[in-house]
Amino acid sequence: MAKNKGKASNAKANTKGNSKGKGNEKESNEIKKGPLQMLKDNTLRIQLQVKPNAQISQVVEYTDDYVGVQLSAPPKDGEANTECVKFMAEALGVKKSEVSLIGGMKSREKVIRVETSDIDGIEKRLKSLAI
């Protein structure tokens, strides 16, 4: 444990030597609105809660933590993941190639990245789609 403490204090010492504010600058560039987060590369990260095997694919809720989505595909052989990307692209009005699944490949809690910087427009669209 002594080694870890030494490394931590060295890391703090190195941070102090760098120009102040860089960490805060990065944080201020990232905008978070509930389940939506604008990343520093001007892409949007969306936290999803997915329910596979539904009759139709649709947005069912918009909360502070996630966007609830029902998918018509089953959760096997990546079918739900494929449907998730396809459906979210249609729902958001963007090209399928602009949506990628970046987390939760085998989970109902998924994270997608959308190549857009219009966080307000996406938020408004998702809220209007929620039933």
Domain coordinates in residue numbering, the chain: 31-129
Q: Nearest-CA neighbor of 70 among 121, 102, 110, 38? A: 110
Q: What is the pLDDT of residue 31?
A: 92
pTM: 0.78
Q: Please state, in angstroms and as integers, the Cα–Cα distance from residue 67 to each residue in 62, 88, 130, following that order.
A: 5, 11, 8
The topology under which CATH files domain 31-129 is: Conserved Hypothetical Protein Mth637; Chain: A; (3.30.1200)
Q: What is the pLDDT of residue 4?
A: 46
- In our burial notation (b when 16+ CB lie closer than 10 A, e otherwise), range 46-70 reads bbbbbebeeeebbbeebeeebbbbb
Q: What is the pLDDT of residue 41?
A: 95
Q: What is the pLDDT of residue 12?
A: 39
Q: What is the pLDDT of residue 29?
A: 62
Can you give the pLDDT of all 131 residues of the chain as single tens digits? 444 444 444 443 343 344 334 434 344 467 999 999 999 999 999 999 999 999 999 999 999 999 999 999 999 999 999 999 999 999 999 999 999 999 999 999 999 999 999 999 999 999 999 98
